[in-house]
Structure 1
């Protein structure tokens, strides 16, 4: 029983740098996607809403609700994408990581 415990501990120590690399890769991708979503949330979507209101002035009363819901939708998307990317990249087999 003690021998199997030693083997398990030594294999964990050997796999540790690969695990750190995979975790770092997952966080790097998650931060890059998060930066893109922040740009989308704070610049692209509000400009799109303003442009639509400029083209169709009768929809001006929808400006405030549209701004609120685009922010909420983009925030939810941010959480889902970051969690999904982190979980996906963290599960990449060690042999695929350079």
Structure 2
């Protein structure tokens, strides 16, 4: 893939984290983790494949940035350094079930 092919344009601008819906990303984590026979985690590549099937190619640096933001907001557990990932949905009360942002405790 050439450098120009790796840049996806959304409404005439480069794709940004906000162009990947949180619920799509978190749903991909839930769905792929549910299929894991070793626990409730999933890896970076599995999640990225599901996301890309919906929004098209996502550059690695953008995918990692989206992961970091979800982790910072308490909506995702895992490592967003670009390694294997091991993502999971937090099981504690940090995320209110009816909200997209962390609960205020």
TM-score, with length taken from structure 1: 0.29
For the pair shown, the structure with the greater C-alpha radius of gyration is 1
Q: Normalized per residue, which structure has more helix?
A: 1
TM-score, with length taken from structure 2: 0.27
Higher relative contact order (CA 8 A, sep 6+): 1
